[in-house]
Structure 1
Amino acid sequence: MSAPVVVFAIGNPSRGDDAIGPVLCGRLASWLEAAGLAAQFELIEDFQLQIEHVLDLQDRQLALFIDAGIDTGAPFTFQRIAPAAGIAHTTHELPPEAVLQVFRQTEEADPPPAFTLCIRGEQFELGEPLTATAENRLEQAFGLLEALCRNPDPASWEAMAVNAKEGVRVAAMA
């Protein structure tokens, strides 16, 4: 049986702030275990989303996509997303909305409610470490992740997405 919530952490640990997703994934795995919540979540870490990730959405109640962004509002954005055709040069590089669209097409059903947590990065050069700015933003985003994991239901996440859009402090959402 699949865990009710799937979390995709996208990024390359060797490319500076692109490591945000994998770093958050590792930290989240430890926190979920310590909080006794690990069985409710499946964490999937990858360099990029691929068409095969559609299979990971089957039998889920919620999906979360975590990634770093260049033009993302600082420190991060959290929003609900919907299926949409993606602009990609190959089927090995898809935005989350395109993965949801492929799910809809192949499964002939709506995908689970899905959200993105995108943390603003500054530097993405090969061989560079995570920047101090990104580490600070990652810390801020982790507060939201804890709140999400304590309340793993679509209505709660939707409310948190609305609050995040309106600038409500993460601590107030927990």
Structure 2
Amino acid sequence: MGAVAPTLVFGIGNPSRGDDAIGPLLVERLAALKDIRRPDGQGLTDVDLLTDFQLQPEHALDLRGRRRVFLVDASQDPSAPWTLEALMPQNGLSCSTHSTTPGGLLAVYSRLYGRPPSTWLLAVQGEGFALGAGLTTVAQANLNAALQHLLHVLGSDVGTR
């Protein structure tokens, strides 16, 4: 395995299912910002980006060598436009050969490699998840707000100009 960036942003979701595309779209926007540099030369150079339709046990390999991981996924919870929640390994949760939960992924990592990197779930509220639908106006606004917060957390203001 080659050198990995200390931070991974992993967008989860199906781009063909309306607001479920939030995770991959946020990663796509970060990819567009990766080459932008501030006057002091800083940017998003220490961040790797990844997308997939769902978390799978083998994604534990993608966490190796990281200091922090941000999982970005759409949420149907109407209580907030987005939330950022620290995650811990959770044994006994759903984990199969085809998919797993965020806590289940960290449990797999723990069993294989020991203590996982600091991991957060950035859940962004969506409202329409129909096959073939586009991103809703609500999801677009929530995605923009979540992206700005994530850029702040990543220590970069490259996307705020």
TM-score for both structures, normalised by structure 2? 0.87
For 1:144 and 1:71, how far apart are their aligned partners in 2? 19
**Which position in structure 2 is the counterpart of 1:56?**
62
Letter in 2 for 1:94: T
Work out the number of aligned pairs and report it. Answer: 151
For 1:30 and 1:10, how far apart are their aligned partners in 2? 18
Letter in 2 for 1:29: A
Residues 16-38 of structure 1: per-residue CA shift (max 9 Å, x gap):
00010111010011122213534
Query: Is the alpha carbon distance of 1:77 and 1:32 closer, same or farther for their aligned partners in structure 2, counting shifts above 3 Å?
Result: same
**Which position in structure 2 is the counterpart of 1:94?**
100
For 1:18 and 1:86, how far apart are their aligned partners in 2? 26
Structure 2, unaligned stretches of length 5 or more? Answer: none
1:123 to 121, 128, 131: 128
The within-5 A match list for 1:101-112 is 101-107=107-113, 109-112=114-117
Percent identity over the alignment is 40
Deviation larger for 142-151 or 7-16: 142-151
Tell whether the 8 Å contact from 2:5 to 2:47 is kept in structure 1 after alignment.
yes
Is the partner of 1:79 in helix, strand or coil?
strand
For 2:26 and 2:92, how far apart are their aligned partners in 1? 25
Structure 1, unaligned stretches of length 5 or more? Answer: 152-170
1:137 to 142, 149, 154: 142
For 2:92 and 2:12, how far apart are their aligned partners in 1? 16
Is the partner of 2:71 in helix, strand or coil?
strand
Is the partner of 1:33 in helix, strand or coil?
coil
Q: Aligned pair 1:146/2:124, yes or no? A: no
**Which position in structure 1 is the counterpart of 2:119?**
114
For 1:87 and 1:70, how far apart are their aligned partners in 2? 20
1:32 to 34, 37, 40: 34
**Which position in structure 2 is the counterpart of 1:45?**
51
Residues 34-69 of structure 1: per-residue CA shift (max 9 Å, x gap):
135343011010000001100011111111100001
1:8 to 7, 10, 21: 10
Tell whether the 8 Å contact from 2:14 to 2:20 is kept in structure 1 after alignment.
yes
Greater share of helix residues, 1 or 2? 1
Tell whether the 8 Å contact from 1:86 to 1:94 is kept in structure 2 after alignment.
no
Letter in 2 for 1:122: E
